[in-house]
Amino acid sequence: MERIYKKERNAYSNIFGQMVYESKDPTLPKPGDTVEHSTEQHFRVLDQIYQGPFSAVYRVENIAQPGAQFAMKVERIKSIERYLVMELVGMDLGRLRRARQERRFTMATALRVLIQTLERIESLHEAGYISRDVKAPNFAIGVDNQAAVVYMLDYGFARKYVDEKGQVIPPRPSAALMGTFQYCSLASHTHKDQSRKDDLESWLYMAIELIRGPLPWAKIDGNKEHKKILEYKLQIRQGEPRQKFFESIPYQFEEIMDKIDGYRYYDKPDYNSIRGLIRQAATDYGITLEEPLDWERDSRMTKKAMYVGELGESNMASSRLENQELKPLPAASKMLEIELEEKTPEEEAVRKNKKLQQKNLKIKNKRRKFQETNNVWTALPISSPRSSAESAETPATDSPNKTRAKSIVSNDCLLAQQ
């Protein structure tokens, strides 16, 4: 049954608003539902693109203009949803990178993309905000004839870094670890307030990943060992670890890292000089920065990117299945991206067998506990009343710490609320 949502008020413009359900149903919209706007721009929900802990993103169609599709981000607040309709974009850079067999872009594509992403970050900074979550999945390409344009997404962790007078807000004594473990800055790891330089540090890690492939610390579970990732990031700044980290990387990126590390909290980064170093690298490699991007040269790449798991595990269809009708993987809860090595059939068989053994062991233990409990009750005299202590059932509940741990296992590693 189709549900209809009506806008409560138009506080900003014709693409912003709030909607309330005609029923008391507090759930988020479903495919087929309609959102009615007071400006007579009615949108039909086609499918869900992303489901996060605080919001969801849907592909919607303007009913008055069949075929005109947009992205609608919905923020859930009890039974009222705030929503924003915006331009629909394509695959993110993280999926596109993993869709390539080499798990990296060609140098021409990487450098061209890095200039665009740097410009997006600069624009955000000029608007008075820092992202605090710069990473490949938060940049996406346009659709159709806009495939060469890179868009910046997801400002869930963004924070205003200047006051009403345009002055940089002083750093707080301590701050939550904000961002994504693979990409977050040294300051974030050490619970310091972030500034513009920290966005650029995260951008640098993304740059190395796009050029060379998975980062050295990609397999470390930051939820358990984020300090180990911090150690890696400290080591790559000197000696042999530094040489190894920048191996096969244009030397200009070492200069960029030194430049970023030299900035202080209040400093405004020199974006132009960083762009100049990228262009210099392009010249050294004989790149004009006008070459078609990888996904423009290979139209199959965006299709393959649809089958890449969000956790970093490649579920990409092989070339043999290329012409078959495949269904994209369901969107999983966004968690820390961990690059996983592809397993051989033998290794996969061993893994499945081990998993089956663990499952059987759990079932066996549950049966044993059930039998022991059943034997205890059977041994009780029928006429014996149970004491209040015996009759009181104690439901199994997670401890507060365990519940909190579950709440922070997300792609955006917010370890503490602001």
Strand residues in 96-145 grouped as ranges (E): 129-130, 139-141
- 379 within 8 A of 373, measured Cβ to Cβ: no
- CA distance linking residue 72 with residue 60, whole number of Å: 7
The number of residues in the chain equals 418
Angle at 201 between CA 197 and CA 206, to 5 degrees: 145
- CA distance linking residue 287 with residue 292, whole number of Å: 11
- 62 within 8 A of 72, measured Cβ to Cβ: no
- Closest C-alpha among 165, 42, 150 to residue 91: 150
Paired sense of beta strands 55-62 and 43-51, if any: antiparallel
- CA distance linking residue 74 with residue 29, whole number of Å: 9
Strand partners, 19: 7, 81
φ/ψ of 151, rounded to 5, equals -110, 150
- Closest C-alpha among 6, 249, 228 to residue 110: 249
- Closest C-alpha among 80, 88, 36 to residue 57: 88
Q: How many other C-beta atoms are found inside a 10 Å radius of the C-beta of residue 144?
A: 7
Half-sphere exposure (CA, 13 Å, Cβ side) for 236?
A: 22
Task: Kindly give, in sequence order, each residue whose CB lies less than 8 Å from that of residue 368, ignoring residues fewer than 6 positions away.
Answer: none
- CA distance linking residue 411 with residue 418, whole number of Å: 17
Paired sense of beta strands 80-87 and 150-152, if any: unpaired
- CA distance linking residue 113 with residue 334, whole number of Å: 24
Instruction: Enumerate the active-site residues.
Output: 133
Residue type for 193, please?
D
- 135 within 8 A of 94, measured Cβ to Cβ: yes
